[in-house]
Chains A and B, each alone.
Chain A
Amino acid sequence: MSLHPANLLIPLMVIIPLTCALLLNVLHGKDRTVKIISVVVALALPVLPLLAGYGTQYFGGYVPLAQNSAIASGLPTSITGSALSLFHPAITYFFGSGQKLMLFILGVVALFSIFASLYEVKRPSGVYTYLLFMLAASIAALILTDDIFNLYVFFEIAALTQVGIILVSRVKGNYETALKYMILGGIASPMLLIGIALLLGVTGNVNITDIAYSIKTGLVNPNSSVLLMACGLITFGWLYGAGLPPFHSIKSAVYSKALPNGAAMLQAFSVFMFVALGIIILRIFGYLPFTKVFIIGISLLAMVLSITMAITQTDFKRIIAYLAVGELGYIGIGLGLGTVAGITAGLFQAVNEVVITAFLFLGFGTVLYKTRQSDIRKLGGMMFESPKSAFLVLLAGFAMAGVPPLNAFQSKLMLIQATLKAGIPELGVIMILLSIVTFMTFMKAFYAIYLRSKPKDLKILEKKIPRVTMVAMVAFLVICITFGVFPQLAIGYLQPLAAGLV
């Protein structure tokens, strides 16, 4: 076990928000104390990944036997002389450059979501802040863990936290949506668990590196029908966790029933779940001929279904929600191409999407904050009520559609170049067309909310937008411009992760 202080920060990225969440739970009613603790811990979230050194964290100090001669010397040769000596005996967290960037972006989104909630929610000491910290901890664990059962546990915690975030939102129909989501999860999660159990049964392991090693080196038959079934079941869990078809409709409903700052965190969970489990599928089942084709196919379906459904919506939260699910398709196409360029572009798109969708949720959330209205048919004239916010939302929409010099332009351009390199230009054409539809859908909502004349019965209930929300939007814009002008800043971190998957 490495005792380097920078490496000890790796588990703290999960432990600190988790402990903070539990602590806040016992401070109910003490608003001031909760605010102080939340601000301090939220500020630490983006800082910790920057300070942590790259490496592997072996929980309990249980390193593989090959690295621990003291224990290995007393064991029979049937263990020390076999692959067992290379396997990881306990939960392992891996922290590389790709994880660093993703955790930093997660930290920034969590920081501003928590700040916005502290100033927008009437009682900061309620369960809402607790839930946001719990979700941040769960997502961090999903990104870091190299253990598929540990991933399942944090996925379940995150799913329960999502339900909590919907339940406290007091949006009409939130309980019904939460129950629907849980019922679907009640089937999808056990399927994921059975997939993991099958992998355990075949390889004797739940560590992802060890499972991939066993398959690659022929310790288990790679064409075993049990492995194929495990692949199918884990993929089913992946579709549910990330909100891909046939779960795209319930996922967008989940976003729309949450408060905007909560929805920003929920979409971050979906994107990182999509990436984390997508990478696992590629690492373990990437050798199967249909894996990449399936990822591309389901991604295309998600894009087409979600973006076309976004056009027909009249609730702006639902519009962003569908667009967010549709944008997952771009990431999936990058992963499905299976090339270094494609996976790097997909991961870059994932990072960008987390920032842009959070930006849009907070931006449109200012309209909800001022009017308590999210139906675009009943809105209008908000440009004159909050011009600064309108300008920022417009830029967020440009970023999502891939307008230069903003970040998604670079990632989408990279994706199109990767499809051309892979000899599938048709995918590039579809992505361009869907980007245009995304832009049209966004502009339809923007026109209805900001540019159209204000309806007579629309009441402005809050005059001022909280300053912290405006600061958050400016911060997201800075990230969008920075990654748009200097894409190498992000690509440099993501490329090693992509190269390790090919």
Chain B
Amino acid sequence: MRKLALSDEILMKVEKPARYIGNEVNSVMKDPGKVDVRFAMCFPDVYEIGMSHLGIQIIYDMLNQFEDVWCERVYSPWVDLDAIMRKEQIPLFALESQQPIKQFDFLGITLQYEMCYTNILQVLDLSGIPLLAKDRTEDDPIVIGGGPCTYNPEPICDFFDLFYIGEGETQYRELIDLYKDAKEKNLGRAWFLEKAAKIPGIYVPSLYEVTYKEDGTIKERKTLTVDAPEMIMKEMVTDVSDTYYPMKPVVPFIKVTQDRVVLEIQRGCIRGCRFCQAGQLYRPVRERNLEFLKKYAIAMLENTGHEEISLSSLSSSDYSQLPELIDFLIEECSRRKINISLPSLRIDAFSLDVMNKVQDVKKSSLTFAPEAGSQRLRNVINKGLTEEVILNGAKLAFEGGWTRVKLYFMLGLPFETEEDIRGIGELSNKIAATFFETVPKEKRNGKVQIVASTSFFIPKPFTPFQWAPQCRKEEFLDKAYLTRKSITEQLNQKSIKYNWHEADVSVLEGIMARGDRKINQVILRAYKMGCMYDAWSEYYKNDVWMQAFEECSVDPDFYTVRERSEDETFPWDFIDCGVTKSFLLREWHRAKEETVTPNCRMQCQGCGAARFGTGVCLEEREG
């Protein structure tokens, strides 16, 4: 029987000990003597969050298909175990072998949101790996960063040996072969990193130097070796129906956030909402073919025993064979008593009909994401959802028996006015009014409930809004108060509930998102001062963070409230995500002019992604 890294006494003391025991159904065990490369794949947050992430399941499955590699998983120990491990000096271990991460060849860390950055340091620290890449020796694993946040890796570049930019399915084989070669011939870490920098998509930050102007913006970016490329092109899977996808995802023992089969039906989005980073990063849209999806849906259900399947994509309604796929799933799943969950569907007659078949109308709520309260501002952000469409959808839904509606908005969008903010209350009111107009009194089955939620807008790299200033905390809060006030002034205010997010953390997220290399020291300082699990509001310490900025003499405002000039060099400009900076700038201008840009299927906008020669870029356009 496997020996655990933690004693029974410790496991009995901590919350949810099953987080740390491994051995889940479909987890992969190998003989360490029979593999050449040990890879630890990490999601720097608690187990339940990390285990819900599809990307890790894909890479885990792929790497374990390589006979010479054993990929294991590691997550952030929760704060209770963290304290015990520090006190008793227990090194962080991988779940499968229960062996210390420090002995591994690679530690891959996925970066899904900026607020996990201090947890990267937690994982390195508990593993006994030097926090700064420059301090690591031949005894330390190669630390790799991947995932969406690597599209601006600069704020955390001191902690990583290399970053893998783009989709993980394509270059790991080459990277591992290079590593094996280096290991066999004893060529050393520096040699490996220098050569790795030549593999497409690989960015080795130590091979570059950045200098700054007096105003703090970037003056120059220099390569320190002849070979290191000046631009790093993102990696992308050309044919998403002929690639790695896990037939046997790992099934956790404890309930996790995403406790179901996840079927990724397509990558990318045709819509081009101007605030959305994912919509630009994953261009062009690539659909998986129907037969591929059917085959994987059945295999994954059979191999996991999950009681639910969920479709995953940025906008499921845009998948061209959605009706056929849903028909298939409804038939298969009703026979097997499996629930179907359909997030990111546009509310229309088709989707309501589908939802009526797959969920209990009385218990479920409908979600609209208008993102902005007025049509004017929706044009600014290129959200092609009109009030007419929303009210029509709501009317159909109320007729179908739904009584609960969720609405998602953002506050602090570029060019937002008080008028736009009041629009949130007005739109919520109109939806409530639609209920009273649509459903006669005698047929009203309970009360109508509108829940409006706002988050604070954070400008992200590689979006048309990367030039936009971000609001200060006080401005954010004023906007939230105005929203609340405008809702209470509505006729149907009793049917409307309002929630808003916290402002502090949105400001910090904005700094990280568009930060440069100067942010590294702040993150390190904040971590040393006890910051960790910043994504968890109960552990977020804003005052400590602000103190860290001050002690490092880094001005947070430089990264947030400043409007960037059009010719500024951004920290992330050396990455080529397929979409050109000139396209993004064009879109930034169109936003100012309140002009809507048609989606990829209606008309090609020449964003630059057509050079990949795949997906929607190859489709015949309607017009």
Do A and B bind?
no
A interface, CB within 8 angstroms of B: none
B interface, CB within 8 angstroms of A: none
